[in-house]
Structure 1
Amino acid sequence: MSLSAQLDQQRATSAANIPPELMAIMSDATQQLRLSGLVEQAPKIGDTFMHFELPNQLGQTRNLGDLLANGPVVVTFYRGGWCPYCNLALRAYQQHLDTFAQFGATFVAITPELPDISLTTTEKNELNFEVLSDINADYARALGVVFSLPGEIRTLYAKFGVEVEKHNGTGQFDFPLAATFVVSKDGIIANAFVNADYTYRMDPQDIIATLKTL
């Protein structure tokens, strides 16, 4: 089943199991994010992708320049290991990792979660790619793909048992948009997916189609 189909299935499951009044709160927050203009300001195809230097789940520093020296780089952002949509996407990308590598591409994920937490996410999903911790969401904010979780959603997530501060650090409620970028070896964005709705992600087949052109 494609990632897009899996996400459709997860949306249907959520709609069936979450009370309508709570779904309405989340839908309204997503709509407000759409209207904020943040997506329109995000990096686009043809832009130079901003340099990063971030620790992976083992605390080892990785930077974009070193990764690009080996070929194209695919960068995906995710909210946290507590998010079912994120986990579906991460597992789908893992399944296509060998195909990405056939085109010389390195795949990395970036999350605001602390390294110890991202390590748990990596182990739980049996990921063989590096997960980089963007502490305080500083890099994603500089890139222009960060929003602050509204108060009513923080309360709602707490009711769902999601302890955001446990994952991101005390006082940290900033999340990246659902975003994936395919960056060519020269650092230029060859494909970009940025969505205000976290239930949508770039499908692996779209990544592969782009890598074929590089």
Structure 2
Amino acid sequence: MQVLLFALLLAVLPSASAATVTNISNSQETVAPLLPGLDAPAMTLKNSQGKAVDLAKLYQNKTTLVVVYRGGWCPYCVRQLNGIQKIEPQLKELGVQIVAISPDSSQSLAKSTIESPNYMLLSDAELAYSQALGLAYYLDDKTAKAYRNKLGVNFVDLDGKDRVALPVPAVFVIDKKGLIQFQYANPNYKVRLDENVLLAAATAASKL
């Protein structure tokens, strides 16, 4: 296991934290997301107020729709989150809670207007959750440079070389036992699952 220095670059408030890199693929095409029937990662992440949230306990409360996205700077992710907001009333009626997780810091999440009583934003600033799900990957150098200069995303210092790590966007439906009942991940970040398909998957899982 290698312990590496992880720096989270923010547009207005830089910060740094130590992270352990254990499962980051070399490209988005080679990620291996967890499949339905497997246990969802149970760990602690911080919400937009900086408070710790125990995912294992969160899963037990309700059927959980987990949305893993690249960050609030990504227009495709914002569009996806806005689309899911449209079906939030139906999900709430089904007893399904929405948890959206990204590498954004708690400070960045606090600026979002998305969060609601049934829609929680969590920070995976060290990509621990994304790695556990099998979604984390390194960007190629050219893309990484563009992202670093314009956006401010996660960087890993690997053997003296900065690399950018991001999660492949994905959605998971997790039952109260913590088992994954549905999964969709697409290496092409521009392609997102239609919210009506997601609603159908959540409906089926809520009946288990």
- Tell whether the structures are fold-level matches, with TM greater than 0.5: yes
Deviations 1:33-84 (A, max 9, x none): 32x2x1xx21111112111210001112112222222220010111111110
Match of 1:137 in 2: 127
State how many pairs are aligned: 173
> Matches of 2:43 and 2:87 in 1, distance apart?
24
Match of 1:189 among 180, 184, 190: 180
Contact 2:45 2:55 in 1 (8 A): no
> Matches of 1:100 and 1:172 in 2, distance apart?
38
Match of 1:127 among 94, 110, 115: 115
The offset of 1:206, in angstroms, is: 1.8
> Matches of 2:107 and 2:134 in 1, distance apart?
25
Match of 1:81 in 2: 72
Task: Report the structure, 1 or 2, having the larger helix content.
Answer: 1
TM-score by length of 1: 0.74
Change (3 A) 1:109 1:206: same
Deviations 1:99-130 (A, max 9, x none): 1111111100111111111222x22xx33221
Match of 1:112 among 96, 100, 103: 103
Tell me, which stretches of 5 or more residues in structure 2 are unaligned?
A: 1-26
Task: Report the structure, 1 or 2, having the larger strand content.
Answer: 2
Contact 1:73 1:184 in 2 (8 A): yes
Is residue 29 of structure 2 the alignment partner of residue 69 of structure 1?
Answer: no
Matches within 5 A, 1:16-165: 33-34=28-29, 36=30, 38=31, 41-120=32-111, 122-123=112-113, 126-128=114-116, 129-158=119-148, 161-164=150-153
Tell me, which stretches of 5 or more residues in structure 1 are unaligned?
A: 1-31
Q: Which amino acid aligns with 1:59?
A: G
Match of 2:6 in 1: none
Q: Which amino acid aligns with 1:101?
A: K
> Matches of 1:211 and 1:68 in 2, distance apart?
14
Structure 1 segments, 4+ long, off by >4 Å, are: 168-172
> Matches of 2:87 and 2:156 in 1, distance apart?
31
